[in-house]
Chain A
Amino acid sequence: MTLPGPLVFHLGASHHTAPLALREKLALPPERAADLHARLAAVGLPELVLLNTCNRVEFYGVADTPADLAALEAAFCAVTGLEPADFAAIRAHTTGPAALRHLLAVAAGLESQLLGENEIFGQVKDAYAAAQAAGRAGPVLNRVFQKAFQAAKHVRTHTAISEGQVSVANVAVELALTIFGDLRSARILLLGAGDIGEKTAKAFQSRGAAALTVANRTPERALALAQTLDATALPFEHFPHHLADYDIVVGSTAAPEAVVHAAPVASALSRRRARPLLFLDLALPRDIAPEVAELENVYLYNLDDLAKIAAQNLAAREAEVARARALVAEKADALWRQILARHG
């Protein structure tokens, strides 16, 4: 059945449909995203926003024909190296009012791995701003995204879905406390100078962490972040030799493959005697090799694991989620009627 009005769509994959190992392959760093947009230039997609976070790669757009969607999918598979059949197995695709509902739910944090978290709102805003700057947001998506932001704020204000430990940083601190008791003597090593790592480092500092060190592949960024956080900087290539000095290692680099391997960790453990070592892998692709978790006295948590912990507190908020979803549906349907009236 063909819906009336413009062909508004959402297409992509997220933590709901793809496991962590597969999401690593879907990640679109800036150079890949630029490649993708270059390939799409020839395709008839008048409006397109790319939402690219560690838990989802999604396109929101307006297509002229369904064939344009197939072209988008083919270009995405070509850039990521994913087999079309593999992508088809994890793909989520909606159109019309269902696509609007999905976007509003994403912006409100209802589709987030840490349900109700706030980070996604900023990420959706950034994605929209990037599309605007590149001239890829037109009259339909401008209206859709503006309304999505209003709806997300409304949902957060009028429900309690964001109450409690619903950010990666907060869950990470809660987890660290179950291992170390308090953080007054905990030394933190932050790998990477990205946003999520910075927020997590700040959360540790606010709970009294003893010391913070930043190591980044770009030394200038490590120095700048270290100054901002009142921390010290460490040359990235030196950090494997200093692992024994740290109690918590936060991985948040954009490296294409793991930067922490089992051998240097095993060596560090022999110098740490009985002190446990906590690794928080907030990166995608993952920064810390999974074999590290097999070592004695080591606890490794990736994004999925942190989400699992957050979900353990979910039951109390389920009623709020139902209310939030009802609000999202109401707002999305009203928005679809407006679009039909203006562009149908």
Chain B
Amino acid sequence: MPPLTDRTWLWFAAACYLAGAVLGAVSLLRGRRGSTAAIYMVLAAGYAFQTFGLYLRGVAVHGCPLGNKFELVQFTAWSAASLYLVVGPAFRLSLLGFGTALLAAALGLAALLFPDWDAARRTHVFGGNPWIEFHAALALFSYGVFGLLALVSGLYLLRHHGLKNKRIDGAFALLPSIRDLDVIGLRLLAAGVALLALSLGVGSVWWLREPASVNLFKLLATIGVFLAYALALALRLRGRLVGRRQALAGAGLFLAALLSIAPVNSSRHPAGPDAPPAPEAPAR
């Protein structure tokens, strides 16, 4: 039997995430609170497969696997799953597990189903500079945090809609209280902004040394995403962006951040002439 490739492991991961999403959807349709433990276990299995798949890819490309759209999207899904597995049990939000599974499955499957996203692989994408690698990984991880924030914002909007329309039964009964969702949303927003600020801080050191190494569009897009989230956080802390509008901002900004990944990726300078396409990495 030929060794399993990194993509195969990532397919396993996507299947697990999809199973988690189906489990959550079935519970939701039945109007019952699903087993948080079951969804957590399925997510954990998917996370293990995804981690291994990305590890194999990392070995093959000699660095953090952030060299093309496929890898960026996979890494974002992995970041969201990582965060949920750490903080999910503390929040005790069964629907957040369902949402995370849905997000990770959607991102993972989209990356796998579009061959173009993984057509060009690049090795040594960060030129062997661990700080730039750290900067990129941190930035993508913050996107994962913002992904979870978008999910929580979605739950907030659902709860808000239910309360304004006097519905607290059925699927609405499975939602956390609107105050809890607000508090969790604020924490995720603050964590995401802090991570992205740290990432930009690390990246700026390199950029100051070699300004020409960073494409202007990438610079503007990344700073734009950071400023938008930072502004949302500042307005939230001052009580100017609250409730439904804050949730809409949380969901809308993530969509914008996600859409900015592709142009940012394509605007990056190639790693160098010595960057041949990497073969699919088999497990060793």
Contact = CB atoms under 8 A, between A and B. Distances in A.
Interface of A: 174-175, 177-181, 270, 272-276, 293, 296-297, 299, 301, 305, 308-309, 312-313
Given A179-B177, A181-B177, A276 B167 contact: no
Contacts of B169: 309, 312-313
Max chain B C-beta neighbours (<10 A), residue from A177, A296, A305: A296
B166 A274 contact: no
Contact of B176 (A181, A273, A312): A181
B242 A296 contact: yes
A84 to B, nearest CB: 34
Interface stretch (B123-131, B201-209, B243-251, B273-281): B243-251
A180 B246 contact: no
Interface in B66-113: none
Given A274-B243, A296-B244, A297-B243, A312 B179 contact: no
Contacts of B244: 296-297
21 contacts: A175-B168, A177-B177, A178-B163, A178-B168, A178-B177, A179-B177, A181-B177, A181-B180, A270-B239, A272-B239, A274-B243, A276-B178, A276-B179, A276-B182, A293-B164, A296-B242, A297-B243, A299-B163, A301-B166, A312-B167, A313-B169
Nearest to A271: B239
A308 B166 contact: yes
Contact of B168 (A270, A276, A293, A312): A312
Nearest to B185: A274
Contacts of B218: none
B contacts with A: majority SS? helix
A297 to B, nearest CB: 4
A274 B168 contact: no
B59 to A, nearest CB: 45
B246 A274 contact: yes
B7 interface: no
Contact of A179 (B163, B166, B170, B172): B163
A176 B39 CA distance: 28
Contacts of B179: 179-181, 275-276
A274 B236 contact: yes
Contact of A296 (B159, B178, B238, B243): B243
A174 B175 CA distance: 14
